Structure 1
Amino acid sequence: MNGRVPRAALGLLGLLCLGVLVAWWLHHFERVERTVPLPPAGEAAYNPLYALRRALQADGIAVESRQRLDLAAHAPGAHDTVLLFGDPRTLAAREVEMLLAWVDSGGHLIVSTPRGRRLSAPRPSDLLPRLGLALLPGAGGCEAFQVPGQERHVEFCGGTRFTLRGIDPMLSWGDFADGFVFARQAYGAGRVDVLASLDFLENDKLAEAPHAALARQLLDPNYGRGSIHLVYAADVPPLWRLLLEHAWMAWAPLLLALLAWLWMRVQRIGPAMPPPAQARRSLLEHVQASGEHLRRYGRASLLHAAMRDAFLDRLRRRDPYAAALDGVARAEAIAARTGMPAPDIEHALRSPRPRDGNDFRLRVARLIEMRRRL
């Protein structure tokens, strides 16, 4: 009995401590619910118009969503609406023709101006020039948009404004001074809406009441009369960004290992060594060295003879009559053609005095001048 009493007392003491801990926990903490937004998954992760499609389906509107226009496989009806969420400059000329022909039959086309400045000039076959619009990069700013019962709102802050050329739009938003952010024009039996930006239709922005109201007004012309085709470009991050964000645990150690290997293999850095002398293979230098050698050893007459032969060869081609003469007659004929004194010509054609450098240079200079004047 005496050995069991301490064990029972210790058990009761442990239960008492546990009860106190539970009471303290329940007194200081309470269960609450918290909603944590998860990142989009599935189609909502790459389709920026996924929320718009679901909203239109909930309203009983027939809607199709795809990444490419593909008018041959998905031809819109006469009262349908096509929304191009992307750069209209990527459309081929054939697609532009088919698209405008469909609008002329009663369709409703919605496009946005591209962002960024293009280095090349717009092609006449592009969609926006065909509609009579010209881009104004860097013009204007945000546009105020007030919905009754909502706070003050602004739109098109980062969009590219445009101007109208010879067009009287049905509806417009903006002016000719700062450019337009929206214009609706009639095209045959259909309508074409051009906006500076369609960002307000994206998944994370459509929940705002001003954006939902603006989207409903934009889709109004054929709303409920036909299907709505939402054409988007899949927003897939570039490979370098995926590697940088999700594969750093693999490439970072490999990069450190590569740097360590390079550090081990690199040569020790010392004073800069002069570059080795390269062999001189210039033909002009060899010719000059050969001439200097002949002149130094009293063979300057060979150089003079070579220069005289070159002059006489050109003389035979230019004036065969003068070349056939000899002595004073030849010198006078050459003088008549070149305008130089006949004695100087006769002196130049004779061989120089041995080891007389000045006489050699004078005769060669006259031969060069005579050859130039032929």
Structure 2
Amino acid sequence: MTHRRMASIGAFVMLALSTGWLISHLERVPVTYREAPQAEARRNPYLALERFTARMGGQLTRRPDARIIDRLPAGGTLFLDRQRAHRLPPERLHRLLAWVEDGGYLIAVAERPGVADPLLDHFGVRHLEPPPEAPRERQHVLEVTPPGALRPLRVDARWPGLEAGGRQPDWSTGERTEGGGKQILHFNLGRGHLTIASELDSQWSNQRIGAMDHAELYWTLLSAHDRSPQPQVLLLSRLQMPTLFDWLLENAGAACIAAATLLVLWLWRIVPRFGSVQPEMPPARRELREHLAAVARYLWRSGALATLLVPTREHFRSRLALRQPGIAACSTTLQVSALAARSGLPAARIAAALDGRVETPHAFTDALRTLRDLERQL
């Protein structure tokens, strides 16, 4: 056996021993790392809460339409997000509270300080600002102990606490050290329950549901107050009002259909029909007298009577020069006298027709009539 073959066998044995040692001493373990939010997580800030609810045996449905409040199913849980001031008119708020009194469970996120909140105003709940002498550094972590919790739960707390006004809550938790106030206020309404809490939208969002005890707080509240066999949660987030078209169809459907039908019929009546092109009629040839008549009508409407009388006077003088050149050669005064003696017409009328000013339609027609009569006499 050559020296080279001995070296190859020794290297192979060492590789086999090293591989066996690595297999026996190394262990495969899972590694968890966070990825950037994907499209679905960016679109739905409560996607993690929805999957957590399904994993625990419940069901969470997210809706953005505020009109669902008007037809909530009996029982179950409604999680009402912020930005609802203009979506809760008095009549809708009354129907919502009636649903709670009938056995529903409402979890409402308190609006930010300074933002109108009809639900909080109805119960006299307000944000409690810390006094000026309180330390500026607020407590960012609170311990809350809702009914059913086996231990105090740690949650985020960055907003001012809540304080009940006229009606006192049946229980509250999460007291702050600076300025007082509570994190959670709970009211029993008839056969149902209402929980008003601060910052739930942040605590139960995709970014914070897994931090501290936020998920445990969520499930503890559901387990204590949701009467369904399996928690059924309806989440109203990013509430939107129906568009004008949807509102019209819902409230004035018959009128909209009638208006659309009339519009279609009107368009059918006025829109040109498509078919074979008809031959165009040859343009009618106008006569000269029609053009002259149109010019005369325009001058008559414009008040240019003297302009219309000029060609008539010139025509009469040319006829006079042909028939009576002796009279035509005389002055205007002698012409008037001669024509008056020959025709029997008044001299003043003849003078006005030959050289007078024409300012009215009556004077114009009288001058034309006089010149016609004189031409006939010639």
TM-score range, shorter-chain basis? Answer: 0.3 to 0.5
Using structure 1 for the length normalisation, give the TM-score. 0.47
